Structure 1
C-alpha cells in the first residue's frame, strides 16, 4: 500500500475518536428536550443529566495516561470505542427503572469515560505516527472529526425528531437519538483492530524491531532508520532513571505550561457559545426559538470551514502564528458582541461578532491546542503529561459550563454598564493571557520531529 494512503487511513480511523467525542457530546443536546419531559426533570436534574458525562470525561482523561503506558495507544482507543458503544446502547435502553433517570446518567458517565480516554490517546497516537512535515495537518484531522461529529449528530437528531410527533419523541424518539451513535461507535471499534500500534510506544516497551517495521511503512526504509535512532536516543538519555520524577523542576514546568494552554482553550468561552448558543441567540441577539435550526447550521458551517483553513495552514505558517491570528480574531469577535450589547444595539454586528469568534477559534485554539499537546511533551512523560492536561481541560469545561449561565443571569451583568456583556469581556481577558503564554512559553514545533522538540526544553 502507498505510504501516504496508509498514513491517511490510520489517521482517519484514529480520528473517529474525535467524531465520537463530538457526537456523544452533541447527542444530549438534541435528546434532552424530550427526555426531560419523559422523566419530568426539574432544572437541577436536567443540568445533571446533561453535565454528568463531563464527570466521566474528567475521570477518563486521568486513567488514560496509565492505560496508555500499560496497554498502548491502540488498545486504549479500543477500550474507548467499547465504552462509546455501551453508552450509546444503554442510554436508549428501556429499563425496569422507567421512573428513574439514574440508569441514563450511569450510561452517560460511561460515555464520558470513553471521551476522556479518546481525547488524550487519539491526537497523541496520530502525532506519534505522522511525519514531522505534515504532523500538524494530520493531528488537525482529530479536531475536524470533532466538528463533523457535532454537525452529523445535529442532522441525525433533527432527522429522527422531525419524522416523529412530539408525543412519540417524548416516548421513544430520544432513545433512537442515543442509539444512532451505535453506527459510528461500532465502525470505530471494528476499524481499530486494523491499525498498527504506535512505534514510539513499541520503542518505549523495548520492541524496536516492531517499531521499525511500522516506521518503514510510514516513512520508507531510510527515513525509518534515522527516526528509530532518534527515538532510542531520547529514551537512552533517561534510561538510568528507575522512575521519572514528575515533580522535578524541568518536567513539572513542561506539564504546567501544557496544562495552562489546555485549560485556556476552554476559558476562551467556546463551549459557553456552543452549549448555550440558542440562549445567546434568543436572549442576547433577540432571535426567536423558531430560528434555532438555522443558527446551529450557521455555527456548524463556520466551524467546519475554518477548521479546514487550520488543517491546510498549520504546517505552512506554523502553530504560533495561527494562535496569534486566532486570538486577535476571537478578541475582535467578542468586542463586537460585547460593545453592541453595552450600547443596546443588538443586530447584525452582534451576530457577526459571534461568527468571527467561532471562525477564529476553529482555526486556532480548537485544533492547534491538540496539535501542540500531542507534540510538546517528551517521549518518557507524554502519556502522563497529556493525561493531566486533558483532565484539566475537562475540569475547565465543567467550570465554564456551570458558571456562564450564573454570570449571564447575575444582577451586575444585566445592569449598566454591562447590559449583558460581562462574560464576553471576561473571556477577552483570558484570550490576552493566551497571547502572552504563546509568546513566552510555547515552542514553535512546525517541521520538527518529536525528539527535536524534546531538545527545546533542555535549552
Structure 2
C-alpha cells in the first residue's frame, strides 16, 4: 500500500477527529453550564443531545449530496460548519443560542460520519480497507481524548481565574482542529470512484495511479467503470427496492444498535458518573483516562480487523460490554463504590467497545452496500446511528435520576447481550472482499 493512500485517508478521517472532539467536549462543560444557565435534567440532556439531533439531517442527506456534488466538496462544507459551530458555541449568550450552535455542529458531525467512511472505502485497496477504514474510529477516539485533555488544561490553567466561562473556552477550542481540517482538505483528491460515475475517467485514472501500481490502476478503472456502466443512475427509491432492501435494513439496524451499547453515556456523562462513584481523584482527570483507554484499545484493534474479521470482533465486544454493564449495576446495588474496581470496570467496558464495535462500525457501514446505493444507503445507516445516539443522550440523565444507576446499567447490560443474537444471524463477513463483490455476500443472509 502506498503512503499516498494513507495520507489522503488520514485527512478524510480528520472529520472524525472533530466528530469525537465536538461530541465529547460537552462532558467537561456540563458542570459549568448547569449553574450558568440554571438547567434542569431535561435541559441538560437537550444540550448534550443537540449535537446528536443535528447529526440526523446531516447524516441523512450527506450521502445524496455527496453522490451529486462529490465527497471532497461536501467534506469542505463540513469543515466550515465545524468552524461556525465552535465559534458560536463559545460566544453563546443564552441557552437557546447554545442549543442552536450545537445543532449546527451536529449537522457537521452527521455529514462527517457519513462522508469519511465512504471516501476511505472508495480509495482503499481491498486488503487494507479494514485498517484504513479504522482511521475514522482512530480519529474519533483521538478527538475524544483531545477534548478531555483540553477541558482538563482549561480548568487547571493559571490564566483563567473564574470558572464561570470555562465552558466557553472548552467549546470554542474546536475551532483550531476545524481550521486545520479545512486547509488540508484542499490538498486531497476527489474519490476516483465518484469521478468515474461523473464520466471523469481521465481524472480518476490519475488518482488510481497514485494508489495502485500502473497495472493495478488500469484494472481498477476497468472494474469500476464496468460496474457503474452496468447500473442505472442511483435514485433514493432504489435503496428500498427488493434487490437492496435486506442489506439496507441490516446496515440500519447494525448502525443503530451500535449506539445502544451505551458507549456515549460514558463519554458524554463521564464526570456525572464518576461523581457518583466516590472514587478519589479529579473527576476531569478520570475522564481523561477514559479517553486514553479508548485510544490504546483502538490501536490494538488495527492488526485484528483484517486478520480476525468483523464478525468475531463484534461478538466478543457484545459479551464483554454486557458483562461490564451488569457488573456496574451490581456495584451500585451493593454500594461498592469506594474502590477502584468501579473505574476498572468502566475502563474494561471502554476497551471492549473500542477494539470491537468502535472500530468495526465505520468500516462496516461503508463497505456492505453496493456501489450503486452506497451514498444513500450509508446515509440511512448513519442516520439510524444518530437517532439512537439522540435517544440515549436525551434519556440517560433522566433515567439515572428517575430509575437509578442499578436499573439504568442493567438495561444496557441486557441490550449488549441481546446484540449477540443479531450479529450471529445477520452480520456477514466482508474481510478482504472487493467492494464490487459485496452484493454476492448478503444475498445468502
TM over 0.5: yes
CA offset at residue 244 of structure 1? 5.3
Which residue does the alignment assign to 1:364?
A: 356
Stretch of structure 1 that moved more, 194-203 or 25-34:
25-34
In 2, the alpha carbon distance for the partners of 1:433 and 1:35 equals: 36
CA offset at residue 42 of structure 1? 4.4
Q: Which has the higher contact order (CA 8 A, sep 6+)?
A: 2
Which residue does the alignment assign to 2:329?
A: 338
In 1, the alpha carbon distance for the partners of 2:334 and 2:155 equals: 39
Q: Is 1:18 the equivalent of 2:16?
A: yes
1:108-123, aligned counterparts within 5 Å? 108-123=102-117
CA offset at residue 343 of structure 1? 4.1
Distance 1:335 1:41, change over 3 A: closer
Which residue does the alignment assign to 1:125?
A: 119
Q: Is 1:350 the equivalent of 2:348?
A: no
Answer whether contact 2:87 2:172 (CA < 8 A) is retained: yes
Q: Is 1:425 the equivalent of 2:410?
A: yes
Match of 1:227 among 203, 210, 220: 220
Answer whether contact 1:164 1:173 (CA < 8 A) is retained: no
Q: Is 1:155 the equivalent of 2:149?
A: yes
Answer whether contact 2:46 2:394 (CA < 8 A) is retained: no
| Runs of 4+ displaced beyond 6 Å | 240-243
Answer whether contact 1:57 1:116 (CA < 8 A) is retained: yes
Which residue does the alignment assign to 1:256?
A: 249
Alignment gaps of 5+ in structure 2: none
Q: Is 1:407 the equivalent of 2:399?
A: yes
CA offset at residue 196 of structure 1? 0.8
In 1, the alpha carbon distance for the partners of 2:147 and 2:182 equals: 18
Other structure's SS at 1:245 match: helix
In 1, the alpha carbon distance for the partners of 2:53 and 2:117 equals: 21
Other structure's SS at 1:316 match: coil
Distance 1:81 1:259, change over 3 A: same
Q: Is 1:279 the equivalent of 2:264?
A: no
In 2, the alpha carbon distance for the partners of 1:317 and 1:349 equals: 30
CA offset at residue 448 of structure 1? 1.3
CA offset at residue 454 of structure 1? 2.6
1:10-49, aligned counterparts within 5 Å? 10-49=8-47
Corresponding residue pairs, total: 443
TM, length-normalised to structure 1: 0.90
Distance 1:38 1:129, change over 3 A: same
Distance 1:56 1:131, change over 3 A: same
TM, length-normalised to structure 2: 0.93
Which residue does the alignment assign to 1:417?
A: none
CA deviation profile, 1:411-448 (whole Å, cap 9, x unmatched): xx55xxxxx42233322332233222222222211111
Match of 2:184 among 188, 191, 211: 191
